[in-house]
Structure 1
Amino acid sequence: MSSIMRKTVIGVTGGIGSGKTAVTDYFAEKGITIVDADLASRVVVESGRPALSAIAERHGSDVLEADGSLNRRQLRDIIFKNDNERVWLEQLLHPLIRDQILLELQEAHSDYTVLVSPLLVETDQHVMVDRILVVDVPVEMQIERTMTRDGMTEEQTLAIIKKQASREQRQDKADDLVNNSGSLEQLHQQLEALHQKYLKLVK
């Protein structure tokens, strides 16, 4: 944790389709500031940003929409088929995303702050948090939820899951764990207990 950040930061992570949004929605309703690494990753490739120019220069206009914004689906197809391109993109974007996240964390004013990121344990983002909360579901449920939500094929979903940390790796890193394979009410019961725990930590 950087000394310039005074607030306690809880990192929330989980595989694709695990229900991270349901978790952060609950904390947000309690007045907790949510910093979303996925949203930060979108900010750094907005039109006019240097990162978008670098991506377009490398891959051509195919990765741009008609309005000049990033065609994320096209770029995703490229990097999942080519590890070298994935590594290049990560080296370009990860430092920029980190800077954007730090900026948002420093501007947060709630009792504690939540940083939600699907790649919290895979990248150095975990050093920005004081505790890691893992949202856990069976892999079969990840696949089912992602296919339903995003209209992706099982093959595409499995490709993303394989690029992420395994369920066991995330569990090993967890300070706190919530099981999201049940009802929303059951999830909320777990989260309320954690919310009270985190409030006590920051007093």
Structure 2
Amino acid sequence: MRLYGLTGGIASGKSTVSRMLRELGAQVLDADAFARQVVEPGTPGLAAVAARFPNVLTPEGRLDRVKLGARVFGDATERAALNAIIHPLVGQAFLERVQELAAQGVERVVYDVPLLIENGLQGGMDGVILIWVPRPLQKARLMARDGLDDAAAEARLAAQLPLDEKRPHATWIVDNSGDLASTRAQVERVWQAVLARG
């Protein structure tokens, strides 16, 4: 089985490209979905997060993502502590799913990971697709999408490697600064290139 990484940055349009790839027939696995799965109520992941970060559970015993986000986005030490809990669990869930798909005869998987390059996962991929937009546009989209002020948007952008620094690690770059038709045309070309690799 061949593994391809799909990455970008916050508000770069990764979800849009992921959806387009699925429409083209790609088997896309979403790291964010695994990250939610490993902190469901009753999981060891949620217990570990709750022990390290008191008062981040809702009254119903679920993870309060807004509270947790407020604690980790502006603090690199807290973010690293959270990642140390979550990332190994996500990696394990991913490997289990890949093994299931391989047993079903799936030949290629696209792994949608926001922090693919930050976590050094690109070396284990057969290729990397980077969704890129200019930083001012990325920030404007983030502020509009999440209702953030300038400082909050900057804090979230600072928590990730800038898109321009991810470019050298990319096999293919999808420029998502234009309209959807332009993005779709690029995604179709990338998917054809992936298929051509066998």
Normalised by the length of structure 2, the TM-score is 0.92
Instruction: Give the 3 Å change call, closer, same or farther, for CA 181–141 of structure 1 in structure 2.
Output: same
Q: Is 1:15 paired with 2:9?
A: yes
SS of equivalent to 1:194: helix
Equivalent position of 1:63 in the other structure: 56
1:94 maps to which of 87, 93, 98: 87
Q: Is 1:32 paired with 2:26?
A: yes
Equivalent position of 1:171 in the other structure: 167
Equivalent position of 2:141 in the other structure: 145
Q: Distance in 2 between matches of 1:98 and 1:148?
A: 32
Equivalent position of 2:78 in the other structure: 85
Deviation, 1:175, is 0.9
Q: How does 1:108-123 map to 2 (within 5 A)?
A: 108=101, 110-123=106-119
Q: Is 1:54 paired with 2:48?
A: yes
Deviation, 1:187, is 0.6
Letter in 2 for 1:84: T
Equivalent position of 2:36 in the other structure: 42
Deviation, 1:110, is 4.3
SS of equivalent to 1:11: strand
Letter in 1 for 2:8: G
Deviation, 1:100, is 1.2
Q: Distance in 2 between matches of 1:21 and 1:193?
A: 18
Letter in 1 for 2:172: D
SS of equivalent to 1:85: helix
1:156 maps to which of 146, 152, 159: 152
Letter in 1 for 2:70: D
Normalised by the length of structure 1, the TM-score is 0.90
Equivalent position of 1:4 in the other structure: none
For structure 1, the 5+ residue unaligned runs are: 1-6
| % identity of equivalent residues | 34
Deviation, 1:29, is 0.7
Instruction: Give the 3 Å change call, closer, same or farther, for CA 39–87 of structure 1 in structure 2.
Output: same
For structure 2, the 5+ residue unaligned runs are: none
CA distances 1:55-75 after superposition (whole Å, capped 9, x unpaired): 222332x20012111001101
Q: Distance in 1 between matches of 2:137 and 2:161?
A: 16
